[in-house]
Structure 1
Amino acid sequence: MTPPEIARKLRHALHLHQSGDLKKAVEIYQKILDINPRHPEALHLMGFAACQAGDPESAVALIRRALFISPDCALYHNSLGLTFKALDRLSEALSCYRRALELDPHLIEAHNNMGIVLQDMGKIEDAVSSYQKALEINPELPETYNNLGNACLALKNPKQALHCYQKAVGIRPDYPEAHYNMGNALQMLNRFQEAVMCYRRALENRPDYPEAFYDMGNACQKMEDYEGAVICYQKAAELQPDFYDAYMNMGTALHQQGKFEKALLSYGTALEINSSSHETYHHMGVAFQCLGRFNEALDSWQKALKQKPDDAEACHKLAILLQKQCRADEALIYYHKTLELKPDYAEALHNTGTLYQERRQTDQAVACFRKALSLKPDLVQTHVSLGNTFKDGGQLDDAFLCYQTAIRIDPNHAKAHAHLAHLARETCSWKDLRILTDKLDRITKEALEKGARAPEMPFLSLMKEAHPSHYLAVSQSWSRDLSEKVARTNIHFSFDTRRYEREKIRIGYVSNNFRNHPNAHLTVGLFGLHDRNAFDIICYSYGPDDASSYRKRIRQECDKFVDIRNISDTDAASLIFNDRIDILVDLVGFTRGNRISIFALRPAPIQVRYLGFPGTTGADFFDYFITDRTATPETDALYYTEKFVYMPNCYQVNDHTQKIAKRTWARTELGLPEKGFVFCSFNHPYKIDPLIFDTWMHILSHVPGSVLWLLRGNEIAEKNLKREAGARGVNPGRLIFADLFPKPDHLARLQLAGLALDTRVVNGHITTSDALWAGTPVITVTGNHFISRVSSSILKAVGMPELVTSSLDQYQGLAIHLATHPDELNDVRQRLAANRRTAPLFDTARFTANLENAYREMLNIMISGKKPRQIDVTEPWCTLPLIKPVSRPSEIPTETNRLNSADICS
């Protein structure tokens, strides 16, 4: 073959090579080399073809032979650089490109390829310089503009990158990679809709482009178009079945739609592709948690930690879930491990603090919260939690500062407003209370209108005067939130096959207050008085064991006492279900530390609300609400989701065995004056509002020498109440503050008071019945909701309805009249003493029998296949004691009896 023929054959082979017919091109190159083994161009092209065919080692050998023959050919050095790049031998590739440019400074390909290698080596700015040199030689290079754009993106300069990609597609409109990269730049600029359009153009020119589908899915997800994102990820995975990231992000998009089961399927496929990915286990844990499959969630995060022991996030999530599962000791271990791995993890410090707070380990909690705030001073919830810890520890000034700081950071932070408002009530700081409550009401209204959970706890919402529909809406938002969480667990208990023909009805009482607590003071006599021939009584406790006499008595007098404090809600519900409880009674409601979520799981066929929380739960998982017609007239049924069970007397059980200390107190021993009438109100300060305090001060002003004996709640409240008294023209010294006493001693000292004055918005509950048990009459005013009618119910049940008033003027007038007419007051006290022994209020056995009749009727309704309905428990055999009405004075209007400062009695 002559040289011209070889040249012609070589041109033909190159044409085939460029056309993609590599096999035929290689055959011709080989024939040429068979004739002339030292043909440099044939060796070069043969090497280039070998590299394209995936054999870069052979390519290196062939191109080196070409260079041995023609060492000064810049193009050959450039091609050798490409083969070294294919072998990831970047330094050798870079040397080849540099040699090529020494030989031919205008070799565009060498500038461009050197830029690619420099970028791969992390030398981005040097790469930019190489691309720019190529473009200086030829400004019409779309590939180089694309590469320059990629380098700009790596330098976090998406605007410059976008300009480069626009140049590339301006030169070559059908350039899919440039359109794709332009989409990535637009995503970095948060221009997601435009990014989607770029990905679409890329796919128009290259339909089999999995990366374009994938990143289009990412853009859709950022626009919260999760359905669109899933479609894109599915397309990417169809084109590239081992596309791990596509399956992971598909799982995330499905998760965002609440399709947790499908998300798990996607994560499962990702795990098949990469079984050692801790990230996949991490995401699976979150999905399992959302489904309420907590054990599987814990298992997933533990597997994530096995794959990556230093995964602080997995550790943190494990700790949070263990804490929610009431496994505090294990949770604390993982919180500590999280902080070992990531000491500056503010959120983990916050959560560790909440665990210490729950365990009443105040110093540790404060230390965690303070460290978290040193790392992230604007962590609003930590300021709130620190405030709560200070409040629990009695450091109320510090608590105020924390809540106020939280509100400064976030003026609309609902929890901060709620806690600050309640602290203002607890300390009788009334100056800005109206402003706070108005703001909280606005935030609450906005949340409820959006269908979100109200920011304030239902119990705190009862502290203010509002329409009953407001209390219902707040409670419903909390119960709905619980129901939605429970619905995701797919845990269902079936009662269809259960039989109710056994001899005894099984009653389960659930509380965190089987201890020295007001609720236990009320209920302690109930459990042992149940008819053991008809009922089995099981108490489920999730509160602390204080080793008090109350706890010991309850344990002894129920048939079975089960501590569920350290097991999860789902495990507790399963335990209750397996105990075959017929009627499950909640004694806590929406009060602090409640676990109403156990009831949301519906472990018993009949579920009842009683005591604790004086209002509706707004829940569809409670069937009945034990009450009476005074506390909740039938007109209130509209604002309760539970059906009323009307007890024939007062709804509140009381213990008839309470002991009153035999000690006789001298007035002076308790800080009381030797003479003068003693009014008392041992309600907590948060129940005192400005209007009732006005009334009390009017009463003191009209009863010379009288004093008002109050419970010392906290120093700030004491100081504020004294100041408020002075502002109303009453000597602050007429307010006497009492410390907490053991119950028998407290009941004994109450006998020194002539009259107890009830609070208005939030009545006394056990405070009222304690005073009556001690023989001290109580005056109340009936309000418009359960919580403000409790004392009215109690007084009627003790046969003293004449002490119930319907207005503050009447309340004030009655108090003044009795205090200034000792013979009438003595008659009231004598009748109270007699009624205490005969009236229903303190007849615990009678109350228990009535309650059992209510339980029987609940069960009969269920067995008959009917829905829960109102139940009226009647006592045809019982009559109330005779009532002798007290003569009522004319009502004294509040405003016309306000004394001027010159009329102060001291």
Structure 2
Amino acid sequence: MSELKSTEPSLETADTLLARADTLCRAERFDEAEELCRTVLDAEPGNAAAIHLHGIVAYRRGDYDLAVERLMDAITRAPRPDYYFTLGNVMATNNRPAAAAECFSLATQLQPDYADAYNNLGTAQRALKQYHDAVQSFCKVLELQPQNGRAYNNLANALLELNELPAALEAWAIAHQLAPDYPEPLSNRLFALHYENQMSPEQYLADARYFGDLVGRAAQPFRSWLVTTTPRTDRPLRVGIVSGDLRRHPVGYFLASVVGALDKQRIELFGYPTRMNEDELTESIKPHFSQWQSIATMSDIAAAQQVRGDQIDILIDASGHTTSNRLSLFAWKPAPIQVSWPGYFASTGLATMDYVLGDPHVLPEGEEAHFVEKPWRLPDSYLCFTPPQEAPEVGPLPMTKNGFITFGYFGRLTKVTDSVIAAWAEILRRVPGAQLFIKSAQLDFEDVRDMTVARFAAQGIGADRLLLEGFSGRDLYLDAYNRVDVTLSPFPYPSGTTAAESLWMGVPVLCRKGDRFSSHIAESILHTAGLGDAWIANDQQDYIGKAVALASDASRLAVLRASLRAQTLASPLCDAPRFARNLESALHAMWDDYIAKRRLTKREA
């Protein structure tokens, strides 16, 4: 590349300047990096490498429109595979997975051994729910780079979507062996373990602590914060929420009515979304936040400095070990109080996470030892369901017209373990003519449908007893409950959001009592909605017995169906103002405890 024409006494080549700019960009010194890019472009306006790097700087700063403009310009001048790769990353971050997939595909066509492009192509395909294609892309990465731990992690994620839990667990184990300092496989595995709960709470906690230690070693926790040692009376508590699910997602549905009901004189909300995809639910909750700052492209230290600079009093993790979590940020302890709620249902394993927010049903006395965090119990429920604004009306009891009962389950097939299949098959055997309606997005894949039919066939239940349906939009999904008489919650990982939606649609839910937070979720929802122990079985035989008895009690089910929506709406499960007062009281009590401990420490010093 030619030298820059300049009157400056010290001449540097464009390559040298861009190398410096790249280093500055990686160090998040974006102003300086951009200045060097512009220096090159002032001398060589058509320098594709400088235009490309300028696009990267814009991307890292969150200016996606400028990033796309610059990257497209660079590609027009020099259609290089790495330029397509960068543009694909920008598209993926900006929630444009189809465009991202096209970019990564073009990169692999130009460079057939481009392993990183295949890896990101698989991630984009997974976002598009093209799970089989994603598996093939990740396998291509491993063909090129057999020791690529990140590819094994991504492969496991795609396998889980295809209901291949054992294979996913094996791939995560390999990922950790190959990349022991990479925390994501450990986090993904911790979440997936809840589908079967074959691990004791004690062993789960040991594994969660291992994860916490790993991310803790990479962090430099803050030891002091810009806070006073007085009760929060001069201004509201500043409460930050970190989540990738502030959108149409169970977390979004459970937060939507709460954020609007909080007293702004007591709680000031700050949103820290961990990914860029937003929708109409996002837009509806944003006005209730004083500040909304994406940390999707921020490093942990930059995000921690953002939180600390905002003088957040209490930072809430609303993801746990679910997708797009930023638990590694919490290891930096950017806020004096950190809380896990409502997106997870077990210990995060982080010593820097102070509390887990629950209720007496999901956090019963005697199970505190399951957590690194200190349990804090809200008086009614740890969840507040936001009723759909335009939900279908509750229809008549289907069995009255059909002459037989239809049991239903709407949710992830991964929760349907062999024990669940055995229990549901026994119910169908003992109730001649009964149907089982399973609705899951995973059933959109023919091999998953065939596998589901085969699993029931192995228990002596033919396909004629099953109604299998795939994904629907939310209105059609809710209306499908009008074809169900009783919802069967799986175990040990029970229904959560779907249980609340079922009750809202007039369909009672039968669940089993659990032995840890994750397996208590349906119990909490049923108690809060006023159904209580009558719909909570003690064990598998009790679960089967209760289901069989319901098949001969149409009158009871019809009466309950006619009143259940009103009962649910009137219960604490849907009482956002009541829940908001409870949440405010809990957060202020946490703050008061923190202040009391600081005062004690100062006196002792």
Q: Which of 524, 527, 541 lines up with 2:259 in the alignment? A: 527
Separation in 2, partners of 1:460, 1:559: 32
In structure 1, the partner of 2:183 is 453
After superposition, residues 559-578 of structure 1 pair within 5 angstroms as 560=290, 562=292, 564=294, 568=298
Q: Which of 461, 473, 495 lines up with 1:764 in the alignment? A: 495
In structure 1, the partner of 2:417 is 689
In structure 2, the partner of 1:734 is 465
In structure 2, the partner of 1:853 is 585
Deviation, structure 1 residue 300: 5.5
The 8 Å contact of residues 276 and 296 in structure 2, kept in 1 or not, is answered as no
Separation in 2, partners of 1:492, 1:342: 49
Q: Which of 575, 580, 584 lines up with 1:843 in the alignment? A: 575
The 8 Å contact of residues 511 and 542 in structure 1, kept in 2 or not, is answered as yes
In structure 2, the partner of 1:789 is 520
After superposition, residues 224-263 of structure 1 pair within 5 angstroms as none
The 8 Å contact of residues 380 and 409 in structure 1, kept in 2 or not, is answered as yes
Deviation, structure 1 residue 683: 0.8
The 8 Å contact of residues 777 and 829 in structure 1, kept in 2 or not, is answered as yes
Query: Residue 753 in 1 paired to residue 489 in 2?
Result: no
1:342/1:635 CA distance change after superposition, 3 Å: farther
SS in 2 for 1:613: coil
After superposition, residues 46-445 of structure 1 pair within 5 angstroms as 276=12, 281=17, 284-285=20-21, 288=24, 293-296=29-32, 299=35, 319-320=55-56, 322-336=58-72, 339=75, 343-345=79-81, 347-428=82-163, 430=164, 433-444=165-176
In structure 2, the partner of 1:724 is 455
More helix by share: 1
Q: Which of 397, 422, 438 lines up with 1:710 in the alignment? A: 438
1:370/1:746 CA distance change after superposition, 3 Å: closer
1:341/1:867 CA distance change after superposition, 3 Å: farther
The 8 Å contact of residues 423 and 544 in structure 2, kept in 1 or not, is answered as yes
The 8 Å contact of residues 159 and 167 in structure 2, kept in 1 or not, is answered as no
Deviation, structure 1 residue 849: 1.8
Q: Deviations over 1:466-519 (max 9, x none)?
A: 4556655766676667666664xx999841458644053333444444443332
Separation in 2, partners of 1:657, 1:685: 24
Deviation, structure 1 residue 712: 4.0
In structure 2, the partner of 1:125 is none
Q: Deviations over 1:811-853 (max 9, x none)?
A: 3333223324446656876896785366433333332222111
After superposition, residues 794-805 of structure 1 pair within 5 angstroms as 794-799=525-530, 800-805=532-537
CA RMSD, 1 decimal: 4.3
SS in 2 for 1:455: helix
In structure 2, the partner of 1:605 is 336
The 8 Å contact of residues 398 and 406 in structure 2, kept in 1 or not, is answered as no
Q: Which of 580, 586, 589 lines up with 2:317 in the alignment? A: 586
Amino acid of the residue matched to residue 62 of structure 2?
A: C
1:292/1:567 CA distance change after superposition, 3 Å: closer
Separation in 2, partners of 1:712, 1:367: 28
Higher RCO, 1 or 2 (CA under 8 Å, sep at least 6)?
Answer: 2
The 8 Å contact of residues 493 and 602 in structure 1, kept in 2 or not, is answered as no
Q: Which of 500, 504, 511 lines up with 1:780 in the alignment? A: 511
Separation in 2, partners of 1:337, 1:632: 56
The 8 Å contact of residues 176 and 182 in structure 2, kept in 1 or not, is answered as no
Separation in 2, partners of 1:813, 1:298: 69
SS in 2 for 1:366: helix
Query: Residue 655 in 1 paired to residue 394 in 2?
Result: no
The 8 Å contact of residues 350 and 368 in structure 1, kept in 2 or not, is answered as yes
- Unpaired runs of 5+ residues, structure 2, are 1-7, 601-605
Separation in 1, partners of 2:83, 2:386: 45
The 8 Å contact of residues 394 and 506 in structure 2, kept in 1 or not, is answered as no
Deviation, structure 1 residue 526: 1.0
1:312/1:867 CA distance change after superposition, 3 Å: farther
Separation in 2, partners of 1:525, 1:314: 47
Query: Residue 642 in 1 paired to residue 373 in 2?
Result: yes
Separation in 2, partners of 1:481, 1:305: 43
Q: Deviations over 1:624-668 (max 9, x none)?
A: 221234434566555544332222333112236866433647969
Deviation, structure 1 residue 705: 1.0
1:358/1:469 CA distance change after superposition, 3 Å: farther
In structure 2, the partner of 1:74 is none
After superposition, residues 507-518 of structure 1 pair within 5 angstroms as 507-518=239-250
1:371/1:777 CA distance change after superposition, 3 Å: same
Amino acid of the residue matched to residue 711 of structure 1?
A: K
Deviation, structure 1 residue 400: 3.3
Deviation, structure 1 residue 699: 2.0
Paired residues, number: 584
- Which structure: larger Rg? 1
Deviation, structure 1 residue 358: 3.1
Deviation, structure 1 residue 296: 4.4
Separation in 2, partners of 1:502, 1:845: 23
Deviation, structure 1 residue 680: 0.7
Q: Deviations over 1:686-740 (max 9, x none)?
A: 3333332233222222221111112241233334323333343222132223465
Q: Deviations over 1:872-897 (max 9, x none)?
A: xxxxxxxxxxxxxxxxxxxxxxxxxx
In structure 2, the partner of 1:878 is none
The 8 Å contact of residues 94 and 277 in structure 2, kept in 1 or not, is answered as no
The 8 Å contact of residues 338 and 355 in structure 2, kept in 1 or not, is answered as yes
The 8 Å contact of residues 461 and 474 in structure 1, kept in 2 or not, is answered as no
After superposition, residues 495-510 of structure 1 pair within 5 angstroms as 495-496=226-227, 500-510=232-242
After superposition, residues 801-816 of structure 1 pair within 5 angstroms as 801-816=533-548
The 8 Å contact of residues 665 and 749 in structure 1, kept in 2 or not, is answered as no
1:700/1:377 CA distance change after superposition, 3 Å: farther
The 8 Å contact of residues 506 and 537 in structure 1, kept in 2 or not, is answered as yes
TM-score by length of 2: 0.80
Farther off after superposition, 272-281 or 815-824:
272-281
Farther off after superposition, 475-484 or 320-329:
475-484
TM-score by length of 1: 0.56
Separation in 2, partners of 1:725, 1:367: 39
Separation in 2, partners of 1:703, 1:342: 68
1:319/1:729 CA distance change after superposition, 3 Å: farther
1:379/1:665 CA distance change after superposition, 3 Å: farther
The 8 Å contact of residues 246 and 273 in structure 2, kept in 1 or not, is answered as yes
Separation in 2, partners of 1:585, 1:379: 39
**Identical residues among aligned pairs (%):** 23
